[in-house]
Amino acid sequence: MNRLNTVAAHVAPTLTITDNRSGKKIDVKVKDGTIRATDLKQLGIQTYDPGYMNTTCCVSRISFIDGNRGVLRYRGYPIEQLAQDGSFTEVAFLLQYGELPTRGQLTQWEQDLMRHSMLHQDVATLTSAFRYDAHPMGMFVSAMAALGTLHPETNPALTSQNIYKDKAVRNKEIARILGSATTLAAMAYRHRMGRPFNTPNSDLGYTENFLYMLDVSHEGTSYRPHPKLVKALDVLFVLHAEHELNCSTSAMRHLTSSNVDVYTACAAAAGALYGPRHGGANEAVLRMLERIGSIENVPTFVEKVKQRKELLMGFGHRVYKHYDPRATIVRKIAEDVFEICGREPLIEVAMELERIALSDPYFKDRKLYPNVDFYSGLIYKAMGFPTDMFPILFTVPRLAGWLAHWSEWIDDPENRIYRPFQVYKGYDKRDYVQVDERSEKVHSKELTVKRSAFNRRRDASLQSAAADRSEYEWIKD
């Protein structure tokens, strides 16, 4: 490096901002492509960024995304290598601790996870109390939050606010939650299907045990899920384990900043993922493909999308402006699943839709490429999972990413409780008016409550009875 470059390397780049209202100029430092938002206080302004479209809130070392090149790495490792050669438990370890485990570390780690897969009977009782048709995600979120009540000794609100600073405590909570996740998910599934809960099988691996708890019946502990299906689901778990600061991961960090217990934080993150804009995307893809119906209908559907009469689900991404690398992997493993479970007819519709869209300038110019949700729902459907289980199959592996961010936030010297600002556009100061002196300013239509058919039937009966009483009183008078 020559002297000029050496000097330049040590001079922090700056950005000069001129306030045209006052003529005031400030120089702010630029680091890693960002400026400190607090530097703008010198001008008495804040940034306005709905949806955090251009906001950086932390420094992280967990995952890296290059949306323009279609690159995803966990702790520096390309997702393609981890999906092909690794396992979910290896990846979960990598996300937590920054390095791949040795053989001995992996064995111990997997034993720790399995040890925590056996849950307190109260969790089974709670899950059994839900209606037969309760959504599995609702049961999972509730059960995850309930786990925290079984471990008050590690709740910052009940013990020490600094309890999570102890990494030994953190390690136990991480293993406990990851170990519990598959059992919670299996309980939700079995309850939804009207079947008794199964006990975890400690002789099996993480993903294999999950499928075992879902499916084992009269065969007992000799039952073994098909190895190719185990591998397919394990790869899907790897692909869904972490993805930077998406909605649910941001929620995890937000909750963590309040120093709430980790179970409540995970339940809140799962609640965010439950939303159809996030964890329900692959289900939306499936509904779209079912609506298209056949290959012959694809061109017409594509034209409707271009006319903004239909939505193209499973294409495009907030970050990726190129083909989602996870989608490429999912498409490959789909064939392995179809070979065993039967070819899902909608795959032909999906492939034709992808072919037409990727050859159409309308979609190419808008950088709309298939994302991971485009094919994953077809695999889950082929494996026999009901669509309401799709968000749980996303949540279980994503817990590994959430917990990595939880731990990273705790160690961050710049951690602060999250508290964004707002631009207030409401009333100026108003004086209180006594209730009998107020005029009606809220229209009755704005207070309308949607009533069920049951309540409408009751309302009609009560009104009829009131009318009868009124008529009787008139006659009596």
The span from the CA of 297 to the CA of 285, in Å, is: 16
Distance CA 91, CA 93 (A): 5
For residues 295 and 348, the answer to whether their CB atoms sit within 8 Å is yes
Q: What DSSP string runs through 255-280?
A: HHHTT--HHHHHHHHHHHHHSTTTTT
- In angstroms, what CA-CA distances link 208 with 49, 86, 104, 113, 118? 43, 15, 20, 13, 15
Helix (H, G, I), strand (E, B) or coil at 242: coil
Closest to 259 measured CA to CA, from 161, 181, 191 = 161
DSSP class of residue 202 equals T
Catalytic residue among 116, 254, 317, 405: 317
Render the burial of 44-77: b for 16+ CB within 10 Å, e for the rest.
eeeeeeeeeeeeeeeebebbebeeeebebbbbeb
Bridge partners of 30, per DSSP, are 35
Question: Which member of 240, 373, 388, 405 is catalytic?
Answer: 373
Distances (CA, A) of 103 to 89, 109, 192: 12, 10, 38
Rounded to whole angstroms, the maximal C-alpha distance in the chain is: 109
Contact 112, 175 (CB under 8 A): yes
Q: Catalytic: 443?
A: no
Cα 251 to Cα 263: distance, rounded to the nearest angstrom: 13
Q: What is the CA radius of gyration of the chain?
A: 27
CA-to-CA distance for 350 and 353, rounded, in angstroms?
A: 5
Burial 232-242 (b: 16+ CB within 10 A, else e): bbbbbbbbbbb
Check if 324 is active-site: no
Rounded CA-CA distance 396/403 in Å is 12
List CB contacts of 126: < 8 A, sequence separation 6 or more: 142, 143, 146
Catalytic residues: 317, 373
